[in-house]
Structure 1
Amino acid sequence: MSDKVRGNVMLLLTAMIWGGGFVAQSAGMDYIGPFTFCAARYVLAMLALIPVIFFFSVQARKNPQASLGEKFAPDRVTLWGGLYCGLTLGVADALQQVGICYTTAGKAGFITALYIIMVPLMGRVVGQRIPKVLAFCVLLAIVGFYFLCVNEELSVGYGDFLTLCCAVFFSLHIWVIDFFMKRKADGIKLSWVQFAVAFVFASGLVGGFEAPSLESLWAARYPLLFAGVISSGIAYTLQILGQKYTDPTIATLLMSLESVFAVIAGWAVLGEVMNGREIFGCVLVFIAVLLAQLPLPVLKR
């Protein structure tokens, strides 16, 4: 299997896990606050990654006889990458988790997937040209977002707005990962450092706004285990490793499929149903997502 195919498979698995993660995040809100949920999932993700670092980090693979300190200590690039990734991830997850309290898992998945449009637009800021087809996709995505999120009173729901803001930070997260992975950061250690930084950020929010109890945390154990170990520890690490072999634009296409899996999971597990207007909005957003990545030479100039 080539590196490119391996990277694409990792990112597709990431999208599948994240799609189901919206259900776990929504279910967890029945027991604990959004910031507590984020902080707890980061702790579980950090614990889940410790054996992975021990056996599969770059240092562990190059020198199996290295000491524990050598195997776990991140180099300078990895440390800085984890810091920036952790900050963008912490903000994105906090916005998303609060947003899910006020919208459905399916809608949250589709709105979050707007990073597929935002990532190329951010590339324009650093000097990349915006193809004609992408400009059209931006307009189409905006129309789709209108039908998906704007109610009859012509106002965007609070949860929808927060989820849209989270998509901006997830876009930044993708670019930060691409930047540091191109500079040979250790992907597994970077993932651990980002969870540590995100935990510190989320813990500050917990201290300021919430008062969790051990009983409430135990009641939310199943959503937390999925979100912490699988959706965070496994999926975010797969994202970092997969992006190492894949262009950021292609990576966003594959990961945006989480929106489809989120709707399916929301329907199958939570019984969420969208009305015709919302389904039409989802279709427009998904078409925009696909068109933004299709190889159309005439339009991509």
Structure 2
Amino acid sequence: MKTKVRNSCLLFLTACIWGSSFVAQSVGMDYIGPYTFNCLRFLIGSLVLLPVIFFSRHRKKDQKDRSKDRTLQKKEMLCGGIVCGVILCIASTLQQIGIIYTTAGKAGFLTAMYIVLVPVLGLFLKRKAGLQLWISVGLALIGLYLLCMKGAFSLNGGDVLLILCAVGFSVHIMVVDYFSPKMDGMILSCIQFLVAGLISSIGMLLSEQFDWHMVLLAAKPILYSGVLSCGIGYTLQVIAQKGLNPTVASLLMSLESVVSVITGFLVLHEVLSGRELLGCVFMFAAVILAQIPVKRLVLAD
């Protein structure tokens, strides 16, 4: 139980980091293309983790891992990192391109559709969510709609890309759930960032013109996204998902939408409407319900 509480807190911290970095992603796109932005931020995320991994491994160099063959372990890490990196690259690229063609609120709502898709994918993998979690997902969906959507709901080309992005992030959550218990979380993150950065560099070279002047203008958003969103945020996700139901993890991470609104209120002095506040209430209620043990609910009845 202590481990689950700790991991839940880490995922909430992840949501806080992602929620505050959404602005950085949008600002960065004013200067450079989506492939360039993703390439640089993922490579920075990988570099940030290298010294952490080095000192962590150096401290444990005298401890022998007898649980499995080291060669097999390295192959699993490489395989896990490549799979996670490819999926992360696809999802992030779809998100960066989709942001260009739609509003920030709709982008946040459509991206967070993984809260519905994760339990659906879980059904195919024989991981049933249960009535309690489905109710939590429903509450979160209502909360996200109230929080992000304004006016009539309609779809355009950018919105379709964001829906596909949500599918990608859903698959990423499930893949991380599979690989994270088997290996060191920081190494898995480092490899996935390197893979995602290298794939993005191919798109950058083929479809965009690299301009150092524009990169320097976008330096702050790139560094913010690279160090915080990637280096810290996604690494916390990999570490904290161990032992948590993927649906619960997705609900916690979807709080990034709430954090982005609160950040706008605190930093940009944006006014929160009653609709947005009600959306926040629904979101937090969904997360709290998902965290309550089923036995406790039965006893309460």
**TM-score (normalizing by structure 1):** 0.81
Q: Gaps spanning 5+ residues in structure 2: where?
A: 65-72
Which range moves more in the overlay, 265-274 or 240-249?
Answer: 265-274
Q: Say which is worse superposed, 127-136 or 36-45, in terms of deviation.
A: 127-136
The verdict on how the C-alpha distance between 1:61 and 1:233 changes in structure 2, with shifts beyond 3 A counting, is: same
Report the secondary structure of 2:47's partner residue.
Answer: helix
Contact kept, 8 Å, 2:114 with 2:250, in 1: the verdict is yes
Is the contact between residue 144 and residue 257 of structure 2 (CA under 8 Å) also seen in structure 1?
no
Give 1:120-139 correspondences, 5 Å limit: 120-129=119-128, 131-132=130-131
* Residue 292 (structure 1) shift: 5.8
Shift of 1:8: 2.2
Instruction: Please say if 1:25 is aligned against 2:25.
Output: yes
SS state at 2:119 partner? helix
State, as a whole percentage, how many aligned pairs show the same letter: 49
Q: Is 1:227 equivalent to 2:225 in the alignment?
A: yes
Q: Tell me, yes or no, if structure 1 residue 200 matches structure 2 residue 193.
A: no
Conserved? CA contact 1:15–1:256, under 8 Å: yes
Which residue of 1 is the match for residue 68 of structure 2?
Answer: none
State the SS of the aligned residue for 1:5. Answer: helix
Give the whole-Å Cα distance in 1 for the aligned partners of 2:190 and 2:37: 18
Query: Are the equivalent residues in 1 in contact too, given 2:248–2:287 (CA < 8 A)?
Result: no
Q: Give the CA RMSD over aligned residues.
A: 3.3
Residue equivalent to 1:43: 43
Report how many residues are paired: 289
CA distance in structure 1 between the aligned counterparts of 2:105 and 2:273, rounded to whole angstroms: 12
Partner of 1:75, secondary structure, is helix
Q: Distance in 1 between matches of 2:74 and 2:123?
A: 30
Compare 266-275 and 213-222 and name the one that shifted more.
266-275
Change (3 A) 1:94 1:290: farther
Name stretches of at least 5 consecutive residues in structure 1 with no aligned partner: 67-73
- Tell whether the 8 Å contact from 2:35 to 2:208 is kept in structure 1 after alignment: yes
TM-aligned CA distance change 1:286 to 1:35, over 3 Å: farther
> 2:130 is aligned with what amino acid?
P
Find the aligned partners of 1:290 and 1:210 in 2 and give their Cα distance: 44
Are the aligned partners of 1:253 and 1:290 in contact in 2 as well (CA < 8 Å)? no
Offset at 1:123?
0.6
Q: TM-score, normalised by structure 2?
A: 0.81
Q: Could you tell me how far apart the structure 2 residues matched to 1:229 and 1:102 are?
A: 26
